[in-house]
A and B are shown apart, each in its own frame.
Chain A
Amino acid sequence: MKRTHPIITSLALLTMGFLYLPLLGVAVFSVNSARRGLVWKEFTFDWYIRLFSNERILEAAWNTLLLAVISTILATILGTVLAIGMDRFPWSKRTRNFLDIVLHIPVVIPDIILAAALVVAFGLLRVVSSLFDPGLLNMIIGHITFQIAFVALVVRSRLVAIGRDVEEAARDLFAGNWYLLRRVILPLLMPGIVAGAMLAFTLSLDDFVISFFTAGPESQTLPLYIFAAVRRGVTPQIHALSTLIMIITVIIAISTERLTRKDLFGREKK
């Protein structure tokens, strides 16, 4: 085997260091008993314990989780239906291209634009009903708007990979729409749906911009809390909180990766 040049190896290591050292630093300082400064004093779980006795943080964590779970469930259902509809309905070529662009817009558009648009939209809706006052409902709707696109893209690539052959075979074997969906399409699509849902979940979990523009006084989430707290100075508690969020994200990322690496029937590929 050809050996990699030392320069390439060191560049790769540097990049990794650049990406992960700050995160590692946060984790280290979250277990350092020194209140400020870059001096290591001694190991402690104190900041974590204080974290769990802080009412506001617990409330923010609960809001974050509630928001992420509800928006992910809804976005996953809608995104999956959208993907199936886009891929399997016999659209004309022009419509298909148009839908394709529409689907990609929420992915590439800057969050701030989407957020501003949501503010305008909710402002108009507020005239109709006070349901659309800033708060959790607005945040859920806001998160769903960008999550749908991510779910639909992941599910659709899975649909393309499955191909139409098995569907036609199922029809040829007398399967009606519902039977086809339940016994063939959904089981084959499941890894894609789960991967899409996990992606949507992490996106919601650490979203700041959309939440910031749509949140009300009662719907503080963790990213919003951290933002507000950091302005008063970074405390070890924030380090502890960030480390926890990081660990959750890493767990989700790894399990998504493992899930998509498995083959169609949940068995590991050889």
Chain B
Amino acid sequence: MTSENKGGLIIEGINKRFGDVEVLKDVTLEVRSGEFFTLLGPSGCGKTTLLRIIAGLELPDTGRINLCGQDITSLPATKRQVNTVFQSYALFPHLSIFENVAFGLRSRKFADEVVTERVEKRLEMLGLLDMGDRYPDQLSGGQKQRVALARALVNEPEILLLDEPMSALDAKLRAKVQEDLRRIQRRLGRTFLMVTHDQSEALVCSDRLAVMHEGRVIQYGHPEEVYDFPKTRFVAEFLGAANLIEAKKVPGGADTRYGILRLDEEPSWTRGLLAIRPEWIRIGEKQPGENGVRARVSEVIYRGTSFDLWLEPGPLRVRTSSYRHFRPGDEVWLELAADELTVLEDDA
């Protein structure tokens, strides 16, 4: 796999424990050169520890890290072509914005002209050019975040690590920064590796993502792929919303509380779970050809761009566009189409 991934990052069999706690369990990942990769998981899943191991701020107990064909497992942070945007930004409060950004160049003794040129270029790119003389405590949260980004990018790292870069921003700004970050990454064509617990952030930004849970990588791939075909109950519920249906395997499908449902793929279990996203359940007046369920609307929740309907038996959540009005008590037909039902790997 090294040959196909010359400029990328390869993580193999990383284990890490703090005292009695196993934080990372045999984590293997490949981040391709030039892609935006996201580690997504709830707090405590080990994603930040993995990021710190890649940055060189923590040593793994076992396993190897390879960056651009070079084994960097035991290289100290100061020797790695890796830079980090910290969750707290960790700007130097006693240095001006210019000197903050220049820090990585100055510590490597670049000539003054080179420092000035490269720092100004980055400040300009991030719209901070007139902030150079200010100090971190004079900036807003969004500006601080951009300074942290400039400070890391000015070193032209092989891989940029971002540790929950938006957790300190308010919701509205976050949406804008997500898109900005994605654009900056495309424009520079550099490898970005982000850690987040926010699924929408992961979906907006990433070329590929990995879902982590309890120290393991559960699933990784393109965002659409992981969203459309979650492998486990955890992924289905963590990434977006999902209806989970208990099922028993029968020839050609599964026996559920909604009757026999035809499935496209054959389950590996005899008793297990099926998942279907709320927006994939078709809702109508007429009985569909197969996998139809007669249901009654029990609750309608308005969400601006859509409605969420809770239906009985179930409860099943259905997301529908807002021009169709349903009221509690309405009797409807649902279609749990075979190509929309995902068979989860978990045993029931």
Contacts and interface: CB of A to CB of B under 8 A. Distances in A.
Are chains A and B native binding partners rather than an unrelated pairing?
yes
A169 B86 contact: yes
A169 B84 contact: yes
Nearest to B83: A172
A174 B77 CA distance: 7
Interface stretch (B22-30, B100-108, B166-174, B267-275): B100-108
A170 B95 CA distance: 12
Interface residues of A, number: 20
A265 B107 contact: no
B330 to A, nearest CB: 55
Nearest to A176: B78
Interface residues of B, number: 26
Contact of B83 (A173, A179, A263): A173
Interface of A: 165-166, 168-176, 179, 183-184, 187-188, 263-265, 267
5 contacts: A166-B90, A166-B93, A169-B84, A173-B83, A263-B137
A176 B107 contact: yes
B94 A172 contact: no
A172 B57 contact: yes
Contacts of A179: 107
Contacts of B135: 265, 267
Given A264-B94, A265-B93, A265-B135, A168 B107 contact: no
Interface in B282-301: none
B88 interface: yes
Interface string B326-347: 0000000000000000000000
Q: Which 4 interchain pairs have the tightest Cβ spacing?
A: A173-B104, A165-B90, A169-B90, A264-B93
Contact of B107 (A173, A263, A267): A173
Contacts of A184: 92
B151 interface: yes
Interface of B: 55-57, 76-79, 82-84, 86, 88, 90-94, 103-104, 107-108, 135, 137, 151-152, 155
Contacts of A267: 135
Nearest to B84: A172
Contacts of A263: 93, 137
B64 to A, nearest CB: 21
A204 B78 CA distance: 42
A176 B152 CA distance: 17
B48 to A, nearest CB: 12
Contact of A174 (B92, B93, B108): B108
Contacts of A169: 84, 86, 90-92, 151
Nearest to A164: B90
Contact of B86 (A168, A174, A176, A188): A168
Given A165-B90, A169-B92, A170-B103, 7 more contacts: A165-B86, A172-B77, A172-B152, A173-B107, A173-B152, A175-B78, A264-B93
Contacts of A166: 90-93
Most A CB within 10 A of own CB, among B82, B104, B151 = B104
B103 to A, nearest CB: 5
A169 B136 CA distance: 15
Given A174-B78, A265-B135, A168 B90 contact: yes
Contacts of B57: 168, 171-172
B107 A174 contact: yes
A187 B94 contact: yes
A179 B93 CA distance: 16
A263 B94 CA distance: 9
Contacts of A172: 55-57, 77, 82-84, 152
Most B CB within 10 A of own CB, among A169, A183, A187, A264 = A169
A171 B103 CA distance: 10
B221 to A, nearest CB: 29
Contacts of A265: 93-94, 135
Contacts of B108: 174
A104 B79 CA distance: 39
B93 A173 contact: no
Contacts of B83: 172-173
Nearest to B82: A172
Contacts of A165: 86, 88, 90
A158 to B, nearest CB: 13
A264 B206 CA distance: 37
Most A CB within 10 A of own CB, among B55, B90, B104, B135 = B90
A15 B140 CA distance: 45
A265 B103 CA distance: 17
A179 B78 CA distance: 11
Nearest to B93: A264
A168 B82 CA distance: 13
Contacts of B137: 263
A184 B94 CA distance: 8
Contacts of B151: 169, 173
